[in-house]
Amino acid sequence: MRGNSRRPRLSPSSPGVKTRRFCTHGRQRECVKQRVEIHKLRQGENLILGFSIGGGIDQDPSQNPFSEDKTDKGIYVTRVSEGGPAEIAGLQIGDKIMQVNGWDMTMVTHDQARKRLTKRSEEVVRLLVTRQSLQKAVQQSMLS
């Protein structure tokens, strides 16, 4: 997740990459967002997505190895199963999940986040994620 030299370079006009400005806690943040649509896989009784999450407002953000800002209590992708639905959809380790099917994930507890992703009635989840490598790639392409 740090080695952004290996990630493909994305231009701002490529689909799925949007630059947005929004305010959080009085600071203006520019965030590059990616939409990821995951179709859950049925495994017996369960519907799985094939990745793991970490973080939450009830968790210790300083232990998050993926965040740049160590007070960020957001939900991060900590592991992506090989060949799983998440990997197929393009989710990457280190992504920060901002929304799930329209529900905000920036101010939720760990358990709330898990529940929003594992609703049995939903077979497809549309995530809005932000990726640091993405951000850096966009910045680099804008500079060049």
Q: Which residues bind another protein (CB under 8 A)?
A: 2, 48-49, 51-56, 58-65, 70-71, 78-79, 109-111, 114, 117-118
Q: Smallest distance, Å, CB 57 to another protein?
A: 8
Smallest gap from residue 133 Cβ to another protein (A) = 15
Is the dihedral angle over the CA atoms 6, 11, 15, 20 positive or is it negative? Answer: positive
The rounded Cα 142 to chain-centroid distance in angstroms is 22
CA distances from 27 to 9, 21, 30, 86, 111 (A): 28, 10, 10, 31, 27
Q: Which is nearer to another protein, 24 or 63 (CB)?
A: 63
- Structure tokens that stand for 81 in this block: 């199963």
Output the CA torsion sign for 29, 118, 57, 3: negative
DSSP assignment string, 53-81: EEE-TTS-GGG-SS-SSTT---EEEEEE-
Question: 82 or 143, CB closer to another protein?
Answer: 82
In this complex, which beta carbon is closest to another protein, that of residue 33 or of residue 116? 116
Nearer to another protein, 37 or 58 (CB): 58
Single out the residue of 110, 76, 98 nearest to residue 24, CA to CA. Answer: 98
97: amino acid identity, one letter: I
Q: How far is the CB of 69 from another protein (least distance, A)?
A: 10
Q: How far is the CB of 19 from another protein (least distance, A)?
A: 27
* Nearest to another protein of 30, 111 (CB atom): 111
CB of 80 to another protein, least distance (A): 11
